[in-house]
Structure 1
Amino acid sequence: MMPPSPAFRLARLAILGLGAAVVLYPYLWMISASLKPQTEIFSASLSLWPTQWFAAENYGKAMTRIPMLRVLANGAGVCAAILVFQIVFALPCAYALAKLRFRGREVLFALVLLGLLVPIHAISIPLYAAARDLALLDTYAVLVVPFLLSTFAIFLFRQFIRALPDDLIAAARMDGLSESAIVWRVVLPNAWPAATAFAVFSVVAHWNDLYWPLITVSQTRLATPPLGLLFFRAAEAGDDYGALMAATVIVTLPLVALFLMAQRRFIDGMTMTGVKG
């Protein structure tokens, strides 16, 4: 196969660069607005570079009007707890569906795929009623418990584990390992790319989730980042956009840092899950 011509590579780079610019511009505008005074944000000029720096005032309000550090800690704690339990529950299920032979395995996998089609909004009313009856509203537990089992995690791990050599599993059994030990001592160390990819999906989804915290939490001390932004906007009467953009930058920065740190394993995990269907 002939290598692509320089003109083709240049055109491809230009198209990718244009796409990146379109995607990044709202984020750059958000950062720019967080550095400007209110009067400059809605001026006729479209310059991203502020003529008057207002960063100290905007970020100072973002950190003091609500307990921002606690909001970030809530988000980190809730996402970490959900992720740990999701992996603990999903990995053995995925291993059983990928490597064990038993009656009804394909039916169970079909049910997992069916679970992927059910959004949280469709079952939020019975979940809310159950949380109310169990007195879990306005607690950290209500933010974690409904998401302990992830059908997407089972599907992703199952696809990855199917690509592992059967000889590896057989050798572990010959060494006397139980099926549970194989999951945690053989499968998990080899499944880190898939685990990292799923971690990015899980953390981003639950860090950005506003719907469930909004209907189950009413106290600022329990607020996750999106709900904290909502409380901040209410405290600011909704018109201090410089401070609101500063708070948004603070909330989104951990996700950007997470993806930059995990991007290589994320790409590996997403590509390797399709090696063997």
Structure 2
Amino acid sequence: MKHGPFALSALRHMLLGIGAVLMLAPFALMISISLKAPGDVFSPTFSLLPSTWNAVENYTAAFTRQPLARYLFNGIFVGICIFAAQALIAVPCAYAFAKLRWRGRETTFALVLLGLLIPPQVTAIPLYILLWKLGLLDTYGAIILPSTISVFGIFLMRQFFRAVPDDLLHAARLDGLSEFAIVWRIMLPTAIPALVSFGILSFVWNWNEFFWPLIVVQSQHLATPPLGVVFFANAESGTNYNLLMAAAVVVNAPLVIAFLFAQRWFIDGVTMTSVK
């Protein structure tokens, strides 16, 4: 019985270790292939380290064979625009659901949460027709506009705002601040951790989005990173997997860097929003 807690802890760490290996193995293989020469990729004997290092050639070709830098710019531009619009809408909506008292608030919030249950593929055709009618297909607007409202963002910010003391808001109202001023001058600065958490999640989701840009974008210069990587696959001359993996490494690198840079705020924001 004395070894029970130790055995349980060892089992838990073993399971977590196995899960970590399974999740990291594809990334390790991706990096390995991106460093190899074409002949090593199809070698009958598997080796994680390349016998011939071809990293400089692969990554140089990844940027020269296709406009990879343009794809990265598109991903950053689209991600920033979408998050800015989502935050502009989510913050006041979350404040209204968390701190204001009005008839039908709980029912309306329940209806908003129903949006989490609707897959984006369900609304793809109506949105496509709407954008076609507006003449926005094959533009940045076609990629950005359907994602400007985030139900998850409203829910996350509402959970954070519920933890803000009501006395702080009463004091602000006594000082003559309007509800609009309270949202942007008091609530928003206190919600920076939650906003950073939402920003990271929003950026990752929209950076990795493949389905919607594939539908509304025809021009190669508007392609987002996941869609741009597809252009490295050539049905006629065959796929250069070493270049494809080099492009995939470059596409995933900004997400890793962004998370490592803001991981403290991300963890704080997720922890604080789960209090209530």
So what's the TM-score if we normalise by structure 1? Answer: 0.94
CA contact (8 A) 2:232 2:239 kept: no
Deviation at 1:195, TM superposition (A): 0.8
Q: Which runs of 4+ in 1 moved over 3 A?
A: 4-15, 234-238
Counterpart residue number, 1:183: 183
Tell me, in whole angstroms, the C-alpha distance in 2 between the residues paired with 1:238 and 1:79: 32
CA contact (8 A) 1:35 1:55 kept: yes
Tell me, in whole angstroms, the C-alpha distance in 2 between the residues paired with 1:88 and 1:37: 48
Greater shift after overlay, 231-240 or 73-82? Answer: 231-240
Counterpart residue number, 2:57: 57
* Per-residue deviation, residues 187-246 of structure 1 (Å, max 9, x unmatched): 111111111111111111110111111111111111100111112224884421000000
CA contact (8 A) 1:95 1:158 kept: yes
Q: Are residues 1:228 and 2:228 paired?
A: yes
Greater shift after overlay, 24-33 or 225-234? Answer: 225-234
Deviation at 1:11, TM superposition (A): 4.5
Change (3 A) 1:71 1:236: farther
- One-letter amino acid matched to 1:263: Q
Counterpart residue number, 2:148: 148
CA contact (8 A) 2:94 2:157 kept: yes
Greater shift after overlay, 40-49 or 21-30? Answer: 40-49
Deviation at 1:39, TM superposition (A): 2.1
Equivalent pairs counted in the alignment come to 274
Deviation at 1:73, TM superposition (A): 0.5
Tell me, in whole angstroms, the C-alpha distance in 1 between the residues paired with 2:81 and 2:264: 24
CA contact (8 A) 2:232 2:240 kept: no
Q: Are residues 1:249 and 2:249 paired?
A: yes
Counterpart residue number, 1:195: 195
Tell me, in whole angstroms, the C-alpha distance in 1 between the residues paired with 2:236 and 2:156: 42
SS of residue matched to 2:218: coil
SS of residue matched to 1:177: coil
Counterpart residue number, 1:126: 126
Structure 1: give runs of 5+ residues left out of the alignment. Answer: none
- RMSD of aligned Cα (Å): 1.8
Greater shift after overlay, 101-110 or 9-18? Answer: 9-18
Deviation at 1:14, TM superposition (A): 3.6
* Per-residue deviation, residues 69-94 of structure 1 (Å, max 9, x unmatched): 11100100000000001000110000
Structure 2: give runs of 5+ residues left out of the alignment. Answer: none
Counterpart residue number, 1:267: 267
Deviation at 1:7, TM superposition (A): 5.8
SS of residue matched to 2:232: helix
CA contact (8 A) 2:194 2:266 kept: yes
Counterpart residue number, 2:73: 73
CA contact (8 A) 1:156 1:194 kept: yes
- One-letter amino acid matched to 2:157: F
So what's the TM-score if we normalise by structure 2? Answer: 0.94
Change (3 A) 1:237 1:140: farther
Change (3 A) 1:168 1:234: farther
Deviation at 1:176, TM superposition (A): 1.5
CA contact (8 A) 1:78 1:140 kept: yes
Identity over aligned pairs, percent: 54
SS of residue matched to 2:231: helix
Change (3 A) 1:200 1:237: farther
- One-letter amino acid matched to 2:190: N
Counterpart residue number, 1:18: 18
- One-letter amino acid matched to 1:148: T
SS of residue matched to 1:232: coil
CA contact (8 A) 1:65 1:235 kept: no
